[in-house]
Structure 1
Amino acid sequence: MKEYRWATLGCGVIANEFAEAMKKQGRSIYSVANRTYEKGAAFAEKHKIAKVYKDINELFTDENVDIIYISTPHNTHIPYMLEALKNGKHVLCEKSITLNSQELTEAVKLAKKNNLILAEAMTIYHMPLYRKLKEIISSGKLGDLQMVQMNFGSYKEYDMANRFFSRDLAGGALLDIGVYAISFVRWFMSETPLEILSQVKYAPTMVDEQASILLMNSKNEMSAISLTLHGKQPKRGTVVFEKGYIEIYEYPRSTKAVITYTENNEQETVEAGKTEDALLYEVLDMEKTVSKSSDEMYLDYTIDVMDIMTKIRKSWNMKYPEEENSEQK
């Protein structure tokens, strides 16, 4: 398979993990762009990246770049993504991939028009454990899915200037941690949920600090999700079937699940993958998809999850400044 040249747009914590994932393959990122050149240069020095752009726009027109990895704040994703796709670059973008389904539809349309791969860096879809669990579920020995229960609570200091609580940086529980929870649910559900109920508690900045969400699809598969940005919860998912249930802890990058068969209470431990290789799995799957050897990026699930989150925020009448400005034009 061709060795693709990657560029990273953004130099935060997750971008550093991405750079380390490339090193595990004995490779380095081709180039880096950042809003602040000095930060980009420091990142390049740390990870031995040869090229740093003084202007972000130079990244999009660099003919040597094959794939751009975007890890900037949520509300900057869509303009960068569209510019990359216009210039013939494949895009792997951190979650949440866009603010809403309208933005994502525009990006998907452009990617298809230019025959490019657009994907969200959703760890769950690439961890070997989840693929192994799907094989077990497909065998039928657990019976039909009944319910998915999902908790995700992260304790963030009550600092309204922090990005987690900032409207100007598209903060809030749903786009930051809810995207993981709903992606987990979508992975196990046989079709997308169409019935959606939710409750929300707002932070003083009027972003969602806490939420509970109920989902159901036409097959009566149900899900209950609880999210909070100001209280620690176990990152626990329970997937309930007719003949047993699966428990998964630390679920975004999980490598272990326990299946309990309810008829006799026998347990089966399923293990696969390595937590520290989470971004490496994303990189390898993206490259397989770009090479057209297989489609490993689950864009259809990404679209479903974004539609659900958009409908939830619409029911709350919660909008970000970019969305308000778009309506006024």
Structure 2
Amino acid sequence: MTNYNWGIIGTGWIAHEMADALNAVNGSIYGVTALNMEKLTQFATEKKITKVFSNAKEMFNDKNIDIIYIATPHTFHYEYIKEALLAGKHVFCEKAITVNARQFDEVQEIAHEKGLILTEGFTLFHMPLFKQINQLINTGKLGEIKLVQVNFGSLKDYDPKNRFFNKDLAGGALLDIGGYATAFARMFLSSQPNTTLTTVKFFETGVDEQSGIILKNNEEQLAVITLSIRAKQPKRGVISGTKGYIEIENYPRATNAKITYTQDAHQQTTETISAGDTNKALQYEVLDMQQYITTGQDDGRLALSHDVAHILDSVRNAWGMKYPFD
């Protein structure tokens, strides 16, 4: 396996997780940069990172770096992705990869033109379990897929000044957690939805607090999504077909799925499939990203992220919710 030199932008909690994953997979991390110098120095020491960069531009100009990992608030993603790609670096960016579809389409085009890999940090795209689930669906054992149901609810402390509720920082449930639910739904639909029905409850700052979303595509498959950042929900996804359904708990980093076969109305049968390790979720991301670069193709992951970005835009458009930078 080829090891690649990674440069990390940001030192928040997810950057800590990714640094541990990088050390576990590659044994070392090349570089890191962040705006807070005190936290940056502490992070570099704790994670045994070789080089500290005073700013992102300095990191992008380092010829030894192969991959830029971006773990900043959403509003900084677009500029960092664009600069990194133009500097010839592959990019792995946390979700939401951009705050709108216009930004996504631009960085996707740059990546294609430069022949670079651009990947969004959806753990469910990389968990081994989902590869098994897709294989099972492709065998036809579930019949024709008709319906996907998925939800994600977290309970953020009431704090109008927190980034989760700040419109200037692309706050709200949709971009914070909705991408995971939307990515799950899109993964199991045959094509991109072209109908969006939705309703929303806004938080006092103007961001979406909770919502219900129904998506439909040309095959008339439906996806039903519920989101909240002020009410905890189980992270649960269900994929329903004409011969059975699959239930997946904690789907962002799932390792188990229960399958119920319903074709025989008198005797339903069940089975459970298992794969992977929840604690290695980010290690799977690292391994896949490096494999994408080695092979020069990403198994269609950026195309899925493209569809997710456009679905999220269609939902926000239906709400009439705009960010200051849209």
Is 2:42 the counterpart of 1:42? yes
**C-alpha displacement of 1:20:** 0.9
**C-alpha displacement of 1:106:** 0.7
1:172 & 1:187 partners in 2: Cα distance? Answer: 23
- Asked if structure 2 preserves the Cα contact closer than 8 Å seen for 1:151 and 1:236, the reply is yes
**C-alpha displacement of 1:43:** 0.5
Alignment of 1:236-247 (within 5 A): 236-247=236-247
Q: Deviations over 1:167-186 (max 9, x none)?
A: 12111000011100000001
Tell me the residue number matched to 1:326. none
- Measured at CA, do residues 297 and 41 of structure 1 come closer, stay the same or move farther in structure 2, by a change above 3 Å? farther
Q: 2:282 aligns with which of 279, 283, 303?
A: 279
Q: Deviations over 1:126-182 (max 9, x none)?
A: 000111001111001110001011111101111111111111211100001110000
- Measured at CA, do residues 284 and 296 of structure 1 come closer, stay the same or move farther in structure 2, by a change above 3 Å? farther
Q: Deviations over 1:67-99 (max 9, x none)?
A: 000010001000111110110000000000001
2:180 & 2:322 partners in 1: Cα distance? Answer: 20
**C-alpha displacement of 1:294:** 4.7
Amino acid of the residue matched to residue 273 of structure 1? Answer: G
Tell me the residue number matched to 1:65. 65
1:293 & 1:83 partners in 2: Cα distance? Answer: 21
Tell me the residue number matched to 2:9. 9
Tell me the residue number matched to 2:134. 134
- Asked if structure 1 preserves the Cα contact closer than 8 Å seen for 2:100 and 2:309, the reply is yes
Amino acid of the residue matched to residue 212 of structure 1? Answer: G
Structure 2 unaligned residues grouped into runs of 5+ = none
Alignment of 1:160-175 (within 5 A): 160-175=160-175
**C-alpha displacement of 1:295:** 2.5
Cα RMSD of the aligned pairs, angstroms, is: 1.1
Q: Deviations over 1:245-274 (max 9, x none)?
A: 100001100000000111222110010000
**C-alpha displacement of 1:296:** 3.6
TM-score of the superposition, structure 2-length normalised?
Answer: 0.97
Alignment of 1:1-329 (within 5 A): 1-262=1-262, 263=264, 264-292=267-295, 294-296=297-299, 298-323=301-326
- Asked if structure 2 preserves the Cα contact closer than 8 Å seen for 1:35 and 1:56, the reply is no
Secondary structure at 1:31 match in 2: strand
Q: Deviations over 1:200-240 (max 9, x none)?
A: 11001000000100001111110111101000111111111
- Asked if structure 1 preserves the Cα contact closer than 8 Å seen for 2:25 and 2:286, the reply is no
- Asked if structure 1 preserves the Cα contact closer than 8 Å seen for 2:117 and 2:296, the reply is no
2:82 & 2:25 partners in 1: Cα distance? Answer: 29
2:26 & 2:305 partners in 1: Cα distance? Answer: 30
Structure 1 unaligned residues grouped into runs of 5+ = 324-329
2:17 & 2:127 partners in 1: Cα distance? Answer: 16
Amino acid of the residue matched to residue 159 of structure 1? Answer: D
2:113 & 2:103 partners in 1: Cα distance? Answer: 16
**C-alpha displacement of 1:110:** 1.0
Amino acid of the residue matched to residue 200 of structure 2? Answer: V
Secondary structure at 1:30 match in 2: strand
2:299 & 2:3 partners in 1: Cα distance? Answer: 17
1:256 & 1:155 partners in 2: Cα distance? Answer: 25
**C-alpha displacement of 1:293:** 5.8
- Asked if structure 2 preserves the Cα contact closer than 8 Å seen for 1:200 and 1:212, the reply is yes
Amino acid of the residue matched to residue 139 of structure 2? Answer: S
Equivalenced residue count is 323
2:103 & 2:224 partners in 1: Cα distance? Answer: 27
**C-alpha displacement of 1:321:** 1.6
Residue identity over aligned pairs, in percent, reads: 48
TM-score of the superposition, structure 1-length normalised?
Answer: 0.96
- Asked if structure 2 preserves the Cα contact closer than 8 Å seen for 1:285 and 1:297, the reply is no
